[in-house]
Amino acid sequence: MSSVNSSRPPQAEVAAEVAAFIEHAQRLASQILGVPADTPLRPIHKVGVIGAGTMGSGITMNFLNVGVPVVLLEMKQDALDRGLATIRRNYENSMKKGKLTADEVEARMALIQPSLDHEPLRQVDLVIEAVFEDMSVKEKVFKALDEVVPPGAILASNTSYLDIDRIAGFTKRPQDVLGLHFFSPAHVMRLLEVVRGAKTAPDVLATSMALAKTIGKVAVVSGVCDGFIGNRMLARYGAAAQGLIHAGALPQQVDAALQAFGMAMGPFRMGDLAGLDIGWATRKRRAAEAGVPMRPIVADLLCEAGRFGQKTGAGWYRYEPGSREPLPDPVTEQLIADYRAAHGITPRAVSDEEVVQRCIYALVNEGARILEEGIAARASDIDLVYLYGYGFPKHRGGPMFYADTVGLAEVLRCLERFAAEPGADPSWQPAPLLRRLVSQGRGFHR
Ligand SMILES: NC(=O)c1ccc[n+]([C@@H]2O[C@H](COP(=O)([O-])OP(=O)(O)OC[C@H]3O[C@@H](n4cnc5c(N)ncnc54)[C@H](O)[C@@H]3O)[C@@H](O)[C@H]2O)c1
């Protein structure tokens, strides 16, 4: 990017600086504000996982891998069987790669106690709920857990967006409730957001952070807000990417520019992989909560046309049967063109540099708000979330670290320019913290 300082130190020096920063960031992340390092931990000998879908099965594997038995609970036998088959398939794939022996696969599978009723949960020390992302379903599950799970057990939700304090309020023991937000695939991704509710007890947090280390995760504490640290920022990044499509870019250009910047996957490829229906449902929920009519964006139009991404064979891209290769799709391009025409937008040329600036600075700006609100304790926690949960390029040290290397004054100048455009989304307004740091000549980290 042209905005990056031209008198940069040599590559090796930068790499060493970034590596040292990441190491330091991990040490800092394990220090929880208001929780002394010598807080006694609660023993975790057995874990319950509720829901054996995409997340529940991956979460289960984390514990089996370290020899902790898991009660895996489902509503119906076929869902339970599917979850067990997924776990077995993943282990057998590891076996084929020579990472596990057949005996090890069986030993891990034997640690699962599949169940269709709550009785076995009387024996667990921690429950992680991974059922549908719907508050009324979470309510039913947490009320039922409160009845059976022993006193002192930790009750966790893997929710991506929902309010942990409301969930805690469904129980008579909100001090034992927190969010343990794993990322997909949960047995692979290193990040764990540990979501601290208003009433979460210090030893529940300390135990969860220690447990994260046991299962090999990089854990970061987040406060409660819609989407916590990672997904709240991702919403702004996604909106910036969407705005570029409306303005004149195509999904393949935006993805290519961000991948050239170093992102593991561009936002539209990622959307197709994760399923566009998730964001669609969230936007419908937000509009309903705000009592305003839904104003569909192109992503919603794709969903209305039944294009949810890879799982339906088409989303932003199309996919040949059995292939994950994203292919540019004239149907999407037509949909985009229709959207622009309907909104009186004359498409303009968008440079790759603009793609990177808008998407990455949208992350930085929301990160600054998150920091200012105390949702994240420190800028380096935000960097860890993006490095370990969202495929942010390691060599750039995370969005906040990267912003420091560009210079916050330059980031602020760009945001001011975007915010001043006619009809600009108000979220482009620079975060007050960003302005303050610039006026003090400081960065997020220095
Ligand atoms: N998929 C992701 O990428 C992802 C990432 C992070 C967090 N999450 C969150 O994890 C949770 C689960 O998501 P998922 O993608 O695994 O969903 P999923 O639809 O794959 O699985 C949910 C499972 O829960 C089961 N279930 C529903 N109600 C139940 C109940 N009362 N008792 C027992 N089982 C029940 C369903 O049968 C289903 O198998 C959601 O809160 C989601 O927001 C998802």
CATH no. for residue 325? 1.10.1040.50
Q: Are residues 66 and 210 in the same domain?
A: yes
Q: By residue range, what is the domain housing residue 125?
A: 47-222
pLDDT at 6: 47
Cβ of 51 less than 6 Å from ligand 1: yes
Q: pLDDT per residue over 156-211, tens digit each?
A: 999 999 999 999 999 999 999 999 999 999 999 999 999 999 999 999 999 999 99
Q: Are residues 218 and 253 in the same domain?
A: no
pTM, full prediction: 0.95
Does the pLDDT at position 13 exceed 80? yes
How high is the mean pLDDT of the chain? 95
- Pick from 185, 192, 189: nearest CA to 29: 192
Cα–Cα distance, 416 to 410 (Å, whole number):
10
Ligand 1 atom 39 nearest Cα: 53
CATH no. for residue 143? 3.40.50.720
Do the domain assignments include residue 69? yes
Does the pLDDT at position 4 exceed 70? no
Do the domain assignments include residue 83? yes
pLDDT at 7: 54
For residue 73, which atom of ligand 1 is closest to its CA? 33
Does the pLDDT at position 1 exceed 80? no
Q: Are residues 186 and 272 in the same domain?
A: no
Distance 178 CA to ligand 1 centre (A): 17
Do the domain assignments include residue 355? no
Cβ of 185 less than 6 Å from ligand 1: no
With the C-alpha atoms ordered 143, 145, 147, 152, is the resulting torsion angle positive or negative? Answer: negative
Q: Are residues 218 and 268 in the same domain?
A: no
Ligand 1 atom 28 nearest Cα: 131
Do the domain assignments include residue 295? yes
Do the domain assignments include residue 398? no
Q: Are residues 73 and 180 in the same domain?
A: yes
Q: Are residues 153 and 74 in the same domain?
A: yes
Domain count, the chain: 2
Q: pLDDT per residue over 17-49, tens digit each?
A: 999 999 999 999 999 999 999 999 999 999 999
Q: Are residues 156 and 301 in the same domain?
A: no
pLDDT at 285: 86
For residue 157, which atom of ligand 1 is closest to its CA? 41
Do the domain assignments include residue 201? yes
Last residue of a domain, one of 314, 342, 370: 342
Q: Are residues 58 and 136 in the same domain?
A: yes
Cβ of 130 less than 6 Å from ligand 1: yes
Ligand 1 atom 21 nearest Cα: 53
Do the domain assignments include residue 87? yes
Cα–Cα distance, 364 to 7 (Å, whole number):
23
CA distance to 360, 372, 421, per residue, from 414 (Å): 11, 20, 11
pLDDT band at 386 (very low <50, low <70, confident <90, very high): very high
Do the domain assignments include residue 17? no
Cβ of 159 less than 6 Å from ligand 1: yes
Q: pLDDT per residue over 240-283, tens digit each?
A: 999 999 999 999 999 999 999 999 999 999 999 989 998 898 88
Q: Are residues 136 and 73 in the same domain?
A: yes
Cβ of 73 less than 6 Å from ligand 1: yes
Distance 158 CA to ligand 1 centre (A): 8
